[in-house]
Structure 1
Amino acid sequence: MDMITPVPRPAWIAGRPEQGAGTLAVHHPFDGSEVATVAVPGAEQVERAVAAAAGVAAEFRRTPAYQRAGALEHISRQLAARADELAEVITAENGKPLKWSEAEVRRAVSVFRIAAEETRRFTGDIQRLDGEEAGEARMAMTRRVPRGPVLGIAPFNFPLNLVAHKVAPSLAVGAPIIIKPAPRTPLAALMLGEILAETDLPAGAFSVLPLGNEETSALVADPRLPVVSFTGSGPVGWSLADAAPRKHVVLELGGNAAAVVLGDWPDLEGAAERIATFGNYQAGQSCIAVQRVIVERSVADEFVPALLTAVQEQRTGDPYDARVDVGPVVDEAAAERIVAWVDEAVAAGARVLTGGTREGATVEPTLLTDVPVTVRAWAEEIFGPVLAVSIVDGIDEAFAAVNDSAYGLQAGVFTRDVQVAFHAAAELEVGGVIIGDVPSFRADQMPYGGMKGSGVGREGVLAAMNDLTEQRVTVFTGIEL
C-alpha cells in the first residue's frame, strides 16, 4: 500500500505537528516497498518536547477527571471512526495480516474507553487511625499522584495497541507522555498523535518522536522524565534500567510462552487449533505467542497429529489478502535468524514435522519435536512462527518444564480439573496463567506483565495507572470519627 505523501508525515512536538531535521523511510515487510516517510525531530525539537512535558506536569495533574476522561473518550471514538485506515497503516508498516491489524485497532479502541472509565473512578481511600490510642481522633486520606512525565518506548509488533497501553494510562492519571515508537513502525503512533491533537489536552501533555533507537539513551537519562515505560527485547530493556537506576522503570520484555495440554482436556482438536493459531499469529512476533507446547503422554498420539494438521492449515502470503493467516516477520534478517535457530535445533537432534524454510521475510509455519531444551528454539524467544513440542509424563513434569525457563510472562494450561488449575496458579513462575486456553490471551483491562527475564511492573489500564502514580497520605487530626 502506497502511503507516500508530498512531504514527510510530521512528528508531534508538545502537541503540534512539525517537520524534522531529517526523514525516515518506512518499508512494507512483505515486499520491501517504501510506503511512507516520516519526519525525524532534531535535538532542539526533542528538547522542546521534554521541556514542555516537564513544564505542564503540575497543571496537567490538576485537571478535572471529567476533562481527561472526555479526551480519552474522544480518542476512543476517533480510533473507531478511522479503524479501516488505521488497520491498513498497521499492515503496511508491520506486515501482519489485515485481520490481525483490524483486531489490534479494536483493542486500542477498548484501551482508551477503559481508561476513560477508570479515570472517573480513580480515587483514594479513607482510613481511620484510632485502632491504636495514638491515633485517636485521626483519619488518613490516601490518594495517588503522578510520579511525573513518562517516556514511553514502544516496539514494532503492535504499533498502535502497545502505544495505547502507554498513552491511555498516562493521560488518565494526568501525567504528560513522550512516545518514542519503533523506527520500523512509526505510522500508527503518528496517526494517534493526530487524534490526540483534536482534544483539549494542554500543550506539552503529549509528544510523538519517531527517533532512531540510538537516540533513546539521552531521553532515558533525562531527569525531567522520571518514569520510563519500555516494551521490547530483554537486553535493551535491562540496559535501559541499568542506565536509569533512580527512575521508576517498567519493563515489558520477552518470553517463550508455554501451552500445556493435559490428559483430561476433552477437545484436543480445538486445543490444537488454538495453539496453531496463536503460535503463528503476528507471525509469532508476540511475547505471548505460543512457542513451547508441553503435552502429557497419554494424549500425545492424538494431539500431535492434530497440531500438525492445524499448523499446516495456516496460510502464508500477502498480508492484505483476507485468506492469509501468517504474514512476514519484520524483515529478512529476522527471517534468516529464525530459520538458523531451527537448523541449529535440527543439528542437535530435533525433527521438523512441517515448515523450517522461508521465502524472503516470510517464514513457513514450523512445527518441531524432540527439541533439546538447551537449543535456542526452545530456551530463548524465537519471535517467529515456530512451535516446539515436548512430551512429558504427568502434571509435575509438565509444570517443571514450564518453569525451566529464563522467562516468565504467561502460560496456558488446557485442563478441566479445578484442583490442577489452582495448582498451576500456585506453582507456575509466570505473571499470568490462562486456564483452558493459550498463553496468548490478554484482556486489556487485566494486569499484564512478567517475572524473571520477562520484566518488571504491570500494564493493563488500571494496573498501569497505579504503576504511574504513588501514594500521598494526608492525616486529619482532632476530628470526630
Structure 2
Amino acid sequence: MTKKWKLWIGGKWREPKDYETLTNPHTEEELAEIGQAEPADAVEAIVEAHRSFQKFRDYPAHARAKILAKVAAILEERSDECAKIIAKEGAKSIRNAREEMSRTVQTYRFSAEEAKRNYGERIPMDAAEGGENRFGYTKRTPLGVVTAITPFNFPFNLVAHKVGPAIAAGNSIVLKPAEQTPLSSLFLAEVFKEAGLPAGVLNIIPGKGDVLSEALTKHPYVKKVTFTGSVEVGYTVQQQAGFRKLTLELGSNSPFIIDEGVDIDQVIERSVQGAFSFNGQVCISIQRIYVHQSLYEAFLERFVTRTNQLVIGSPFDEKTNITAVISKKSLERLQTWLDEAIQEGANVECGGGVQGNVMEPTVLTNVNRDSKVFRNEIFGPMVCVFPFDTLEEAIDDANDSRYGLNSGVMTPSLERAFYAAERLETGGVIVNDIPTYRIDNMPYGGWKDSGVGREGVKYAMREMMEQKFISIKTGD
C-alpha cells in the first residue's frame, strides 16, 4: 500500500484535506501520497513557528550546535537510505545521490560550527569628536520566522543550506519543499525531532507554490524569505515579500572559458561532468563553453567522444550517468528549445534524441546568440560550444547574459586568470576549474537576474539575522 505523508506542523503530523500522488520520473511508478498544504495550513505553520521562536531565540549557541551536529550524525548513519530517496523521487543517479548526502552532512556540520561563531565588533567611539567616554559594539540577533521554498535538484543539500543556517542563527523555519521531491524534506521531520529540536521550530508543508506563496511571503510573522528556483517565480516572491529580508537563488547559464595553452586532456572529463552531471539540472551547470580557436577542433572532437560514452540507464545502476529529466513538462520544453535552435542554424554534434523520459546528452555548435539555449537557462543535458580568438572576446560573450551566478576559466597564465576574474560579471569566478564547482562553506550567489543575497552557511546565517548597534555612555 502506498504510504501517505501528512504535514509536519508544531512537532506533529497533521492531516491535510487533500493528497497528490508522487511518481518516479524515470519509471513513472507511484512512490507515495503527499499531503497538500492549503493557505490555512501555511498560516498555522507560521503561527507555530512564531510561538516556538519566542523560546528558541534564547537557546544558547552550544545547544543549537549540538542539535545540528546530531542531525549531521543521524543523516550520516542513514545516508544510504537518504540516497535511495533522492534516486527514487528525483531520478538522480545513485552515485550523485550519495555525493549529495555527503555534502548534506557537511552542510549541517558547518551549521553546527557557525552557531558558535556569531561575533559582533567593537566600534572605536572616540575616533569621532563627541565619542569620548562611550563604549560601542554590534551584535547579530535572530530575525524570527524564516520561510524557505526549495528546488528539486538537491532535495537534501539545498534544504540544508536554508534550514541549517536558520537554526544556527536561532530562528524558526517553515519549509515548503519542491513539489517533485517532498520525501527528502519530510524525512527530516523525525530526524530533527530525534536530534532534540523543540517542537514548532521546523515545520514542513508540501504543496503547490502558487497556492502557498502569498501566505509564506506576506504573513506579518514572516521576517525572512529564502527561495531557490526560476527567475520568473523569483520576481513574484520579491514583489510579495516587500521589505522583508530576502534571498533569491535564481539560476544561471554558466560560461566556461578554455584559454590558449591549456592541456585539453586535463579538461575534457571535468567539462563533461560540469555539463551533464544530474542531466544538467544544476544551477551552475556548464551551458556555454568557449574554446580558444587553436584548441577548438581538438576539444570538440574529444568532448563529443566522451559525451557519447555517457551511460543512460536506471538511477540505481552504479554505471548510470544520464537518467530521466524531472518531468514530462521539462522534457517537452527542452525538445522545443532544441528544435528552435536547429531551425536557427545550430548543429547537433551528438545527442538530441529522446528515450522515454530521457534526453540524450546533447552538444550544439554554431548556436545563434538569440536562441533560447543561449539566452535562457537550459536546465537539462544540453551544452553549446563556441570558438574564440581573444580572451576579451570570450569574456564579452560570456557576459552577454541576463544571468551571473558562476563562471569558470581555464588558463595557464596567472595574469590572464586575474584579468578574467576581474571582468567576468558573475557572483563567483572559478579559475582553473569548471563553474559547476561548489563547496558548502563558500559564499554562493549571483549578480543580475541570478538573484540577491548569498548562501554558504556563514553568509546565509548573516542574512538571517539583524545587526544591532549598542552604545553605552561610561562617564561625563
User: Counterpart amino acid of 1:348?
Assistant: E
Q: Is the 8 A contact 2:43 2:219 kept in 1?
A: no
Is 1:466 equivalent to 2:462 in the alignment? yes
Alignment of 1:19-38 (within 5 A): 19-38=15-34
User: Counterpart amino acid of 1:394?
Assistant: T
Offset at residue 479 of structure 1 (A): 6.0
Q: Deviations over 1:274-325 (max 9, x none)?
A: 1111211111111101110011111112211111112111111111111001
Please list every run of at least 4 consecutive aligned residues from structure 1 whose deviation after the TM superposition is greater than 4 angstroms: none
Is 1:62 equivalent to 2:58 in the alignment? yes
Q: Deviations over 1:60-94 (max 9, x none)?
A: 12110011000000100011011001000011000
Alignment of 1:381-420 (within 5 A): 381-420=377-416
Offset at residue 43 of structure 1 (A): 4.8
Name the SS of the counterpart of 1:226 in structure 2: strand
Name the SS of the counterpart of 2:194 in structure 1: coil
State the distance in 2 between where 1:150 and 1:256 align. Answer: 29
Q: Is the 8 A contact 1:16 1:197 kept in 2?
A: no
Alignment of 1:74-153 (within 5 A): 74-153=70-149
**TM, length-normalised to structure 2:** 0.97
Is 1:164 equivalent to 2:199 in the alignment? no
- Alignment counterpart, residue 253 of structure 1, candidates 250, 255, 263: 250
Q: Is the 8 A contact 2:374 2:384 kept in 1?
A: yes
Is 1:378 equivalent to 2:380 in the alignment? no
User: Counterpart amino acid of 1:437?
Assistant: D
* Equivalent residue number for residue 298 of structure 1: 294
Q: Is the 8 A contact 1:69 1:172 kept in 2?
A: yes
Query: Gaps spanning 5+ residues in structure 1: where?
Result: none
Q: Is the 8 A contact 1:165 1:460 kept in 2?
A: yes
**Which one is further off, 10-19 or 436-445?**
10-19
- Alignment counterpart, residue 11 of structure 1, candidates 7, 11, 15: 7
State the distance in 1 between where 2:396 and 2:471 align. Answer: 48
Q: Deviations over 1:193-212 (max 9, x none)?
A: 21011133222211000111
Name the SS of the counterpart of 1:109 in structure 2: helix
* Equivalent residue number for residue 289 of structure 1: 285
State the distance in 2 between where 1:442 and 1:324 align. Answer: 22
* Equivalent residue number for residue 242 of structure 1: 239
Q: Is the 8 A contact 2:161 2:457 kept in 1?
A: yes
Name the SS of the counterpart of 2:323 in structure 1: coil
Q: Deviations over 1:245-302 (max 9, x none)?
A: 2211110002101111011212x12212111112111111111011100111111122
- Alignment counterpart, residue 273 of structure 1, candidates 269, 276, 298: 269
RMSD: 1.4
Q: Is the 8 A contact 2:35 2:207 kept in 1?
A: no
Q: Deviations over 1:413-461 (max 9, x none)?
A: 0112111121122111100000111100011001100011110000000
State the distance in 2 between where 1:127 and 1:218 align. Answer: 39
Is 1:229 equivalent to 2:212 in the alignment? no
Q: Is the 8 A contact 2:247 2:454 kept in 1?
A: yes
Q: Is the 8 A contact 1:356 1:363 kept in 2?
A: yes
Q: Is the 8 A contact 2:193 2:199 kept in 1?
A: no
Aligned residues: 475
Q: Is the 8 A contact 2:231 2:251 kept in 1?
A: yes
Is 1:199 equivalent to 2:195 in the alignment? yes
State the distance in 1 between where 2:40 and 2:464 align. Answer: 27
User: Counterpart amino acid of 1:198?
Assistant: E
Name the SS of the counterpart of 1:204 in structure 2: coil
Name the SS of the counterpart of 2:22 in structure 1: strand
Q: Is the 8 A contact 2:42 2:215 kept in 1?
A: no
Is 1:337 equivalent to 2:336 in the alignment? no
- Alignment counterpart, residue 441 of structure 2, candidates 436, 442, 445: 445
State the distance in 2 between where 1:298 and 1:225 align. Answer: 55
Query: Gaps spanning 5+ residues in structure 2: where?
Result: none
State the distance in 1 between where 2:439 and 2:38 align. Answer: 37
Name the SS of the counterpart of 2:163 in structure 1: helix
Q: Is the 8 A contact 1:411 1:434 kept in 2?
A: yes
**TM, length-normalised to structure 1:** 0.96
Identity %: 37
State the distance in 2 between where 1:396 and 1:244 align. Answer: 39
Q: Deviations over 1:196-240 (max 9, x none)?
A: 111332222110001112222222221211211000011001111
Q: 1:332 to 1:45 in 2, by over 3 A?
A: closer
User: Counterpart amino acid of 2:84?
Assistant: E
Name the SS of the counterpart of 1:446 in structure 2: coil
Offset at residue 188 of structure 1 (A): 0.4
User: Counterpart amino acid of 1:106?
Assistant: S
Name the SS of the counterpart of 2:113 in structure 1: helix
* Equivalent residue number for residue 261 of structure 2: 264
Is 1:428 equivalent to 2:424 in the alignment? yes
Q: Deviations over 1:384-432 (max 9, x none)?
A: 0001011111100010011000100000101121111211221111000
